[in-house]
Structure 1
Amino acid sequence: MDDRDFDREINGAWSLLRDTLKIGRTIISARSLEMDEQFRDVALDAELTYEEIFKTGLHRSNYNVLLSDYAYLQFRWENDHAWRLGYYPNPWLSGVASAKNLVARWEELETLGDLTYEETSDYIAEMPYQGAVPLIRFEYARAQYKEFSHPAAHFHIGRHTENRWPSSISIGPKAFSLIIAKLYYPEAWSKCSNFEGAGVSDCLEEQLLFILQDVRAVHEFSEKENLSFHFGKYSVQETPPAQGRHQSSRKINSRKGGPAATHPTRRTPR
């Protein structure tokens, strides 16, 4: 993947989020996000809360895509051997259907003129903090690879800086966006997946499988690491149990190798 591929994937992800899944609210940039030092410093400060991190990114428009629940996606490319992808859920709305439905209703009343902008903002400001969905980041940093202690490709789940979930594949913005949509926006996903009974001509589950066929294997991934827990693509081959034994053996083979909108700062509690 090069920088042009990366930008194309951002555009592709936005198209699927907006037109197919209908959970894309706006796109600020269809290109790799520039480094925002203020956001970086806040995000790395262990003394600050996720609420402060989330609001900093939102208020500074430090994201590529804003989703329907005011969660946002960040895509930052450094070079062919380093990039990062991030999903920052809205800690008041993401994963809480009743909260999202309530805000949608208030926004509908605002559109109809039954609520003012200020009244809608005040209602949103009083919503309780939920924190139902974790922060998810994917990072690929080839130069930082150290066997077992720092995988080149890895996921961060939540804020703990040392929780690196190793990956034997390096995904881009499009796959990352679809994985996030599948896991955290199941209502929207189910309407686009024939595996959920949608009966659509262009099934998103099949699209995700197609995208994952072309993701790059991480070469900085040792044979020992391949035997340990990690995210990746596998084929599982069943072998018949040995005579006189009750447990079957299983051989697991890795396939490794082989238009900016109105600024939405008021949409979070103060």
Structure 2
Amino acid sequence: MYKVRLQELCREAHFPVAEFGSEHFVVTPGIAGDLRILPYVEQWKKALSSGWYHVRMADHSIFIFSEGAKPSYAFLHSPLQIVTFAEYLEALGERDTPRARALHREDYAHVFDTASLREYVTPIRFDYDAASYRAGARPAAHIHIGLDNEIRLAANKMSAVSFLLFVMRQMYPKCWERLLGRQKRDWLVRPIRGESTELPKELWSQVDRIELHLA
């Protein structure tokens, strides 16, 4: 439903996507439950090895989009301290071609398997849960940043597209700058600040407006 739009954005921004996941992949309650109980690194490994993602980046970070009445969009920042496959080939003096990738695939797999962990990671997740809303305390639409904290940044409604744009701006700023370099920017505004992103009045009270929010 959003794959075509995402691909268009990624092309325009030169977003370093390694691959898009299966168009048939859906986050089921079982998958969500399996991931939720795992520590972060194991959660990322499980999702990556199982193909439970919608976008896999060249740096091995992944995006997972869960739709429905309570949409949730996640960016799992790769915990590995590792060069991309393209960077690995460049260090060998090779061009990044299908032939070069096939020739060095096993060597790069070893680099992947033996890579050390980053000291810090910055996962990002958007949740929309109207039933859990509490004025001034728990925003219906909010963004989590990092691990093991109580951060919930109040936000407008988001879609998979606007979430990807948010992560692009924060984690891949050069790509965001390329998008802003386009002559026509109006097409960026609609998914970020269009009418469809507005919260119902009953989920956005005066007391909610006191805090700094993403809107």
Instruction: Give yes or no for the alignment of 1:154 onto 2:142.
Output: yes
Residues 221-261 of structure 1: CA deviation (Å, up to 9, x unaligned): 110111122221xxxxxxxxxxxxxxxxxxxxxxxxxxxxx
Instruction: Determine the C-alpha separation between the residues in 2 that align with 1:147 and 1:156.
Output: 18
- Aligned partner of 1:92 in structure 2 is 80
Judged with a 3 Å threshold, the aligned counterparts in structure 2 of structure 1 residues 150 and 159 are, in CA distance, closer, same or farther, namely same
- Aligned partner of 2:173 in structure 1 is 186
Q: Residue 54 of structure 1 is aligned with which of 26, 29, 44? A: 44
Instruction: Determine the C-alpha separation between the residues in 1 that align with 2:50 and 2:32.
Output: 8
- Aligned partner of 1:246 in structure 2 is none
Instruction: Determine the C-alpha separation between the residues in 1 that align with 2:157 and 2:41.
Output: 29
Alpha carbons 2:35, 2:47 under 8 Å: kept? no
Structure whose residues are more often helix by fraction: 2
Residues 12-54 of structure 1: CA deviation (Å, up to 9, x unaligned): 1232124542422222244772315255333344xx2x21111
How much does 1:104 deviate? Answer: 5.1
Instruction: Give yes or no for the alignment of 1:170 onto 2:157.
Output: yes
Structure 1 unmatched runs, 5+: 1-6, 195-199, 233-270
Judged with a 3 Å threshold, the aligned counterparts in structure 2 of structure 1 residues 75 and 21 are, in CA distance, closer, same or farther, namely same
Judged with a 3 Å threshold, the aligned counterparts in structure 2 of structure 1 residues 103 and 36 are, in CA distance, closer, same or farther, namely farther
Q: Supply the AA of the counterpart residue of 2:197.
A: R
Instruction: Give the share of equivalent positions with the same residue, in percent.
Output: 19
Alpha carbons 1:21, 1:189 under 8 Å: kept? no
Instruction: Determine the C-alpha separation between the residues in 2 that align with 1:68 and 1:51.
Output: 17
Instruction: Give yes or no for the alignment of 1:119 onto 2:126.
Output: no
- Aligned partner of 2:16 in structure 1 is 23
- Aligned partner of 1:201 in structure 2 is 183
Judged with a 3 Å threshold, the aligned counterparts in structure 2 of structure 1 residues 55 and 113 are, in CA distance, closer, same or farther, namely closer
How much does 1:170 deviate? Answer: 0.4
Residues 199-229 of structure 1: CA deviation (Å, up to 9, x unaligned): x4355xx543343231421120110111122
Judged with a 3 Å threshold, the aligned counterparts in structure 2 of structure 1 residues 129 and 113 are, in CA distance, closer, same or farther, namely closer
SS in 2 for 1:26: strand
Structure 2 unmatched runs, 5+: none
- Aligned partner of 1:255 in structure 2 is none
- Aligned partner of 2:198 in structure 1 is 217
Q: Which moved more, 1:27-36 or 1:184-193?
A: 27-36
- Runs of 4+ aligned residues of structure 1 deviating over 6 Å after TM superposition are none
Instruction: Determine the C-alpha separation between the residues in 2 that align with 1:58 and 1:114.
Output: 20
Instruction: Determine the C-alpha separation between the residues in 1 that align with 2:63 and 2:145.
Output: 15
Q: Residue 227 of structure 1 is aligned with which of 197, 210, 213? A: 210
Instruction: Determine the C-alpha separation between the residues in 1 that align with 2:36 and 2:11.
Output: 27
The alignment covers a number of residue pairs equal to: 208
RMSD of equivalent CA atoms: 2.9
How much does 1:73 deviate? Answer: 0.9
Residues 66-115 of structure 1: CA deviation (Å, up to 9, x unaligned): 12222111111122xx211111111225xx8xx33644536848833795
How much does 1:139 deviate? Answer: 0.7
SS in 1 for 2:118: coil
How much does 1:59 deviate? Answer: 0.9
How much does 1:61 deviate? Answer: 1.0
Q: Supply the AA of the counterpart residue of 1:217.
A: E
Alpha carbons 2:72, 2:126 under 8 Å: kept? yes
